[in-house]
């Protein structure tokens, strides 16, 4: 076995886990992980509302990606788009009662679990992990790629 086989096996385990979680969430709740994260974000906001720009910033996605996520959720009646009073150029996105029910039924997501575990690591462990992951990113020649801090299967599609 080569020196880096264990690294490749561990990467495959991570990709497989993300894939399985994504499929499970889609099957059980009828939404993608990014859609569920959007709903969770709205649930934390005052009056359960945010602008599209606020959602995009939270999810670290561009506005066109967020527009697609919001449109699909609106078709499922899990959120509503409302014009902002006084400024029709701004759209307010609001969580619906159906959206809140879905959130209440949904489990903690893998990225939330990972965030909790990472917050328990020491500064040295975090620095070491960041350095190791940066080496992997460089090895894959991905330094110029943009990415969200949210882990989804969209990250693995080519």
Cα–Cα distance measured from residue 49 to residue 123, given in angstroms and rounded to the nearest whole number: 35
Q: Is the pLDDT of residue 99 over 90?
A: yes
CB atoms near residue 86 (< 10 Å)? 6
pLDDT, tens digit (0-9, with 9 covering 90-100), for 32-68: 999 999 999 999 999 999 999 999 999 989 999 999 9
CATH of the domain at 22: 1.10.10.10
pLDDT of residue 55: 96
Give the C-alpha distances (Å, rounded to integers) separating 116 from 29, 88, 108.
23, 39, 11
Q: What is the mean pLDDT of the chain?
A: 86
Number of domains in the chain: 1
Cα–Cα distance measured from residue 22 to residue 80, given in angstroms and rounded to the nearest whole number: 24
The sign of the CA dihedral 146, 152, 154, 157 is: positive
Q: Is the pLDDT of residue 16 over 70?
A: yes
pLDDT of residue 151: 52
**Helix, strand, or coil here: 79?**
strand
pLDDT of residue 148: 56
Residues in a beta bridge with 50:
93
> Domain residues for 61?
5-156
Cα–Cα distance measured from residue 114 to residue 132, given in angstroms and rounded to the nearest whole number: 17
Q: pTM of the entire structure?
A: 0.75
Cα–Cα distance measured from residue 38 to residue 56, given in angstroms and rounded to the nearest whole number: 9
């Amino acid at each position: 076995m080569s020196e880096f086989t264990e690294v490749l096996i561990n990467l495959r385990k991570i990709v497989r886990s993300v894939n399985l979680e994504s499929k499970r969430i889609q099957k059980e709740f009828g939404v993608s992980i990014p859609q569920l994260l959007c709903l969770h974000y709205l649930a934390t906001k005052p009056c359960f509302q945010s602008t599209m720009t606020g959602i995009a910033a939270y999810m670290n996605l561009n506005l066109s990606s967020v527009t697609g996520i919001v449109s699909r959720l609106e078709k499922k009646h899990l959120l509503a788009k409302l014009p902002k009073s006084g400024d029709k150029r701004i759209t307010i996105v609001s969580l619906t009662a159906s959206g809140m029910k879905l959130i209440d039924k949904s489990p903690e997501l893998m990225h939330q679990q990972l965030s909790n575990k990472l917050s328990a690591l020491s500064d040295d462990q975090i620095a070491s992990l960041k350095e190791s992951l940066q080496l992997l990113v460089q090895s894959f020649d991905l330094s110029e790629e943009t990415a969200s801090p949210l882990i989804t299967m969209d990250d693995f599609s080519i």
